[in-house]
Amino acid sequence: MCGIVAAVGEIDDATCRRMLSRIKHRGPDDAGEIHRPHAWLGHQRLSIMDVDGGHQPLTGTGGTTHLVVNGEIYNHRHIRDALGHELFETGSDSEAALHALIADGPVGLARLRGMFALAYLTDDGEFLVARDSVGVKPLYWARREDVTLFASEMRAFEPEDRPLVETFPPGYCWTRNGGLVRFADAVPARVRPARRAAEPGVWDDTLVKSIRETVVSAVENRMMSDVGIGVFLSGGLDSAIVAAVAAEYAERNGEPLPTFAVGAPGSSDLAAARVVAEHLGTEHHEVVMTRENVVEMVPRTVRAIEHFDPSLVRSAVPNLLLAEYASKRVHAVLTGEGADELFAGYSYYHEDPFTDPDALQAELVRTVGELHHLNLQRCDRTTMAFGLEARVPFLDRDVIELALSIPPEHKMVTPEKKLLREAFEGWVPDEILWRGKEQFGDGSGAKEALAELLSDVGEAAGSWQEEAVAEGVELRTREEAGFYRLWREELDGIRPDRTLGLFATT
């Protein structure tokens, strides 16, 4: 929804303002800042909820508490009910986070259900920063002796601070006195190791109904908006399910649902997305990739996603093309991110050593916890590069809790994600419901469109492989070396280490 910058310690206003200006693309509608002795908050706003009254930094009653938020608080109405509507001065969902912190201090973070990175400041010196448990919204920090700096993207930091930049860990809050404290896990603590299935692949209607109702609730919660909202429709199962639920919600509210698909001419993803859109009756848009726009987009993609992993770059190119188009028509989109990690959708989940149920369960938990390094980074950056917010209903805490409580044996049957498919029979056309899994870069046609260009990128890599080795980074291919060169040109000084998720892991 936005971009934030915060600082505590020996503040330099000019530095903070330069940092904020570098992430203006995340919130082109408005900007605001507040400066107190030894603390600074800045905000670039993408106006989605309470367009007229939701300016940030938000200030509490009495003018002594201040907050900036990047993200959405989906249960803000429940928080208003619990704390008292008389406290609230705007219709912004972010104000719920402000009053939760005023009422309960850091413990108030436990009230929040949503995706967020936030910074909170009081006039008496309290300062707190926090990030949602899955890391849907990005946050980075750089710690110097005299000041600690925070920002939504790595590019925000001054060149001299870039060697100090680290990922702020999901599910943690930080205060000057208390340091880093975990307040939530990516996988909720009450999720117990899944019990063994009495008979793998055999389940009752209760489980199927529970999956359907939980996913429907998560999608509907993410339809809140005072401006346009759509769905990225890849043609695969997960985005088709999201689109089906969103289309029904939009119809009940008398609104059209825009859907957006991208692919090369004749690609399987475009064809499949068209089938879903016609079935649901959505306002469908297609972006057709050409070699020319792919060539133009590759350098922009590497710089936008702040990453050089080849598989991530390949899938991000069509995402960036789609985001650029969709941002001119809506302010927010829903995507299908997270379903594969929860329901074992990737092929490698069905190979050794994950043919053992306990090993599979551990790997699913691990990959959900690591999403913020890879897929969620791509999802956030490609959309926010054009001031477009992406929402990920499959990573709702209730969906995560339910999915990871299912015996892993039920996820080892074929076709992959059979439980999820059965839960949405009748919602999605059968030819899509039972369609086999394709990687986005393959189904969209991006792999073929990129092949020639990637060879050129690799040829131009030159000495970057040697420089990467000197920095402790192993580049596996010339293609990756080419992407590393582009990444280094944009983010010179950043240390490419595991704290930033910048080692190729796929």
Is the distance from CB of 394 to CB of 337 less than 8 angstroms? yes
User: What token pair was written down for 71?
Assistant: 């993200």
Parallel/antiparallel/unpaired status of strands 283-288 and 229-232 = unpaired
**C-alpha separations of 127 from 10, 56, 64, 475 in Å:** 14, 17, 12, 40
Cα 77 from Cα 74, distance rounded (Å): 8
User: What token pair was written down for 58?
Assistant: 């938000």
User: What token pair was written down for 230?
Assistant: 């759509």
Query: Is residue 266 classed as helix, strand or coil in its secondary structure?
Result: coil
DSSP alpha helix (H) spans, 386-445: 397-405, 418-423, 430-433, 440-443
Return the ∠ at Cα 301 (arms to 296 and 304), rounded to 5°.
Answer: 130
Q: Per the residue annotation, which of 2, 16, 173, 379 is the catalytic one?
A: 2
Residues 6+ apart with CB under 8 A from 67: 41, 56, 57, 58, 60, 94, 97, 98, 101, 118, 119, 120, 121
Is the distance from CB of 42 to CB of 16 less than 8 angstroms? yes
Q: Is 2 a catalytic residue?
A: yes
Radius of gyration of the chain (CA): 22
Describe the strand order of the beta sheet including 30-36 as a list of residue ranges.
30-36, 39-45, 2-9, 147-151, 140-143, 165-167
Is the distance from CB of 106 to CB of 171 less than 8 angstroms? no
Is the distance from CB of 477 to CB of 454 less than 8 angstroms? no
Q: How far is CA 414 from the centre of its chain?
A: 29
Cis peptide before 415 (omega within 30 of 0): yes
Beta bridge partners of 287: 262
Cα 343 from Cα 506, distance rounded (Å): 18
Please list the active-site residues.
2
